[in-house]
Amino acid sequence: MQELLLAWFSQNARDLPWRHTTDPYAILVSEVMLQQTQVDRVVPRWYAWLAKWPTVGALAAATPAEVIVEWQGLGYNRRAVSLHRAALYVSEHGWPDDLTVLPGVGPYTAAAVGNFAFGREVLPVDVNIARIQERTGEQFDWECAQALFDLGATICLARIPRCDACPLAGTCPSRGKRYEPLRKQSRFEGSFRQRRALALRAVAAGEQPCDGDALVSLARDGLVVLDDGVASLPA
């Protein structure tokens, strides 16, 4: 199966910009941005981010406020704060052997950066890769990571996989199966997440939102500073 997968990937790989570098900083930025954000939205923001802060040291020298403002529109703003804190750590101590010591870096992100930047023989298992391994019964090795990402994103889809176009269909025990829809994420419109996003956007624009609960929540996450009820971005 691995040979079939890699042969398919050689002809069908998506041309993603972070695949053209082994810079651990650039790869970390892409991985953090890609968490719960679609690839087509991430690509231009990744380019803009690296144009503004091309190195981990440049990001470390930025203020949290600058980082939060630049992140606006990507959602889940705590990711921006964690990425900045990770840059501060790396700028002072270098890249650690155990990447999970970096703020906001869990086992998956550590495996992805370890594989794509440092050539470590570890497979970063996200939901797509886990789904493919479960359906095929195959335990793919670390060299198949990017191919598995693309197969999961374009062919082996969550609900109705495109088995007719799959290079693994000939020996896949799950060929032709259909799946129940996954539990959808709660609606953003009208949610507390939206209130937080609107409040943070207002503070970034120099305004004072009146949503006290949202501001308290943002302050708890280090996204704003409250001083006598007045909100500002962290300096």
Which residues have C-beta within 8 Å of that of residue 155, sequence separation ≥ 6?
161, 162, 165, 166
3 state SS of 119: coil
Angle among Cα 224, 229, 232 to the nearest 5 degrees reads 30
Long-range contacts of 16-23 (CB under 8 A, 24+ apart): 16/43, 17/43, 17/46, 17/47, 18/46, 18/116, 19/116, 19/146, 22/116, 22/117, 22/118, 22/119, 23/117
Alpha carbons 206 and 157: distance in angstroms, whole number: 43
**Is 31 designated active site?**
yes
189 contacts 197 by C-beta, under 8 angstroms: no
C-alpha distances out from residue 70 to 42, 50, 62, 152, Å: 13, 11, 11, 30
Selecting among 31, 134, 143, 180, the annotated active-site residue is 31
- Where in the sequence numbering do the catalytic residues fall? 31
